[in-house]
Structure 1
């Protein structure tokens, strides 16, 4: 916001995706990280109607082609898909070219990309560990370029990122962080000590439905899921979501004398991927592709990360015995 002298640029190196990250040996201090990512995160404004209803959020520079990644909920009401992107006190027009409510991700393309913008290097979300230090960069409450720090509080945390009727569909397995997130941080970057993108900030926990702001529990969509979705949005403007072909609820099963949490299969779609593979009503799914499943939300969030046609090994408890079942994921007709 222009208070004080601007930080000096940190030494950077090119990542494999063309973005910049901290050079080896730069120490990874947060001052250097902030300087490195300053030109890779933008503010997004969405105009309201005559009755009001405008919104604001953040976005991450994805590539050199003018693509900005943000949240679906930031741009879903953009008039005719048009938004304003703020860069260095200048306003640039952009168009939403694809948006995916189930993962709360969207892509905006700039009409003209300023030369100052730099794609943000992408890290490896699978390398994150609970306790790792991270920083959130975005536009909270309209305060562009804000940086807050914290740690990874939990991984694979299933969250509903929509509201109302969208709650059931918009479930992803998120990174939980203590870095302060507030309204306006949505769509911004969560970065590691190397200044690499590890997640797209998406949601904050609230008390009693209050929107008062940060309480130390924020959530970000992992960069690997983001890449999976954004690649499709850029190429086609749409996303093909994987389908298991079951409806599920939270359940338990006894294994080796111990009650084990999982997602209990309530119905199986006739002719669907699950039925063809041999999953049955009453099975309790406890693992998918090596990821522990402890609830129906866990299962939904995990399936969100699979690709259509991908072969996935599910572990289910049936009659006290673990069965491994390989399912070829189908395509959801409803997402």
Structure 2
């Protein structure tokens, strides 16, 4: 299903309260140029238990340590999960869990009374958000976040959250891959975000798991479960064992900025400073991104790109759709200088663009 240049579907993992269907999103192909590049290998973060009894004990210890930090978040139109980020009552979750809501009902895994919380800031570009409890209960336990750069394929992980509204649920699996780039569909409740360096896991994650915790055997959060795959060949039924989590390093970067400044001040996300649309060729196949508007003084403008130009390649990556352009930019950083190939009329040109920032 996920061979090079193939496309599957994935869905967000919040649970709509008023409708049973989940929003569909697209997962990028796994070619090296698009999304299949793995993060640098690092030393294993947890040693394997010697026996089945040791493994069971390790699971129970992790659950005891982390589950009290995982909460259920109820917005007016959705139900998802969150992670207690600090002792001041900040909770990190997905932007698609909070949606357009400003206030929420939060229930801790310990089964305490429902708490009220308010939105601090939502950052749909990375599908992350921070909310804050209106009143901080005693004994609130923040989670410990690990270094997602040290995550390895094959590492045992647990997913914690509220799948299908079943609070305090735990599933287990392994890290199946790292370095995935995934694009959400903006319709049906998704944010439309293109997210780089996601952790792929076989741990069962379902609607309602969004915003919860993907945890290693050292009781450290290494990611936030956000998307799950479905198989279009099976009438869009769930594809077991294919889920994606936003890496903890990105979560911390975004959450720290939101808590400090009330917004994201340094996204680290590259941009061309344009709006565009996918164009098709004479065979009605996607063939590039036409520039609809170019921000004055932005990266594209400074490089001489104009409205009507059609981008066909970014560096050595073919660009056929607005999604493929977003995926290509996800691997770059603001300030990088990259060659952009485009058509102006019938003439193909290439120009070096110094990338801006979202």
**TM-based fold match above 0.5:** yes
The structure whose RCO (Cα within 8 Å, separation 6+) is larger is: 2
Give, in angstroms, the shift of residue 58 of structure 1.
Answer: 0.9
The reply on whether 1:37 has 2:62 as its aligned counterpart is no
SS in 1 for 2:61: helix
Q: CA deviation at 1:102?
A: 2.3
Q: Secondary structure at the match of 1:121?
A: coil
Q: Does 1:191 align with 2:219?
A: no
Alignment partners' CA distance in 2, 1:109 and 1:215: 33
1:171 & 1:111 partners in 2: Cα distance?
Answer: 32
In the alignment, what sits opposite 1:244?
Answer: 272
**Mapping of residues 150-165 of structure 1, within 5 Å:** 150-164=173-187
1:178 corresponds to 2:206: no
What does 1:9-88 correspond to in 2, within 5 Å?
Answer: 29-46=58-75, 48=76, 53=77, 55-78=78-101, 80-88=102-110
Residue in structure 1 matching 2:241, options 216, 232, 252? 216
TM-score, normalising length from structure 2? Answer: 0.64
Q: Cα deviation per residue 1:284-307 (whole Å; 9 max; x = unaligned)?
A: 32479xxx9998646525646877
2:10 alignment counterpart? none
Q: Distance in 2 between matches of 1:132 and 1:42?
A: 24
**TM-score, normalised by the number of residues in structure 1:** 0.68
Residues 1-335 of structure 1 aligned to structure 2 (within 5 Å): 29-46=58-75, 48=76, 53=77, 55-78=78-101, 80-90=102-112, 91-164=114-187, 169-173=192-196, 174-208=198-232, 215-239=240-264, 241=267, 242=269, 243-245=271-273, 247=276, 267=291, 269=294, 271-276=297-302, 284-286=313-315, 297=323, 300-301=326-327, 303=329, 310-314=334-338, 327-331=354-358
Contact 1:175/1:222 (<8 A) preserved? yes
User: CA, structure 1 residues 238+62, in 2 after alignment: closer, same or farther (shift >3 Å)?
Assistant: same
Residue 324 of structure 1 and its aligned partner are, at CA, apart by 11
Contact 2:148 2:223 in 1 (8 A): yes
Structure 2: which 5+ residue stretches go unaligned?
Answer: 1-44, 50-54, 280-286, 343-349
The verdict on how the C-alpha distance between 1:164 and 1:328 changes in structure 2, with shifts beyond 3 A counting, is closer
1:330/1:184 CA distance change after superposition, 3 Å: closer
Q: How far did 1:180 drift?
A: 0.3
- CA RMSD, aligned part only? 3.9
CA–CA separation in structure 2 for the residues paired with 1:171 and 1:113? 34
Structure 1 spans left out of the alignment, 5+ residues: 1-22, 251-262
Are the aligned partners of 1:39 and 1:116 in contact in 2 as well (CA < 8 Å)? no
State how far apart, in whole Å, the 1-side matches of 2:100 and 2:179 are: 29
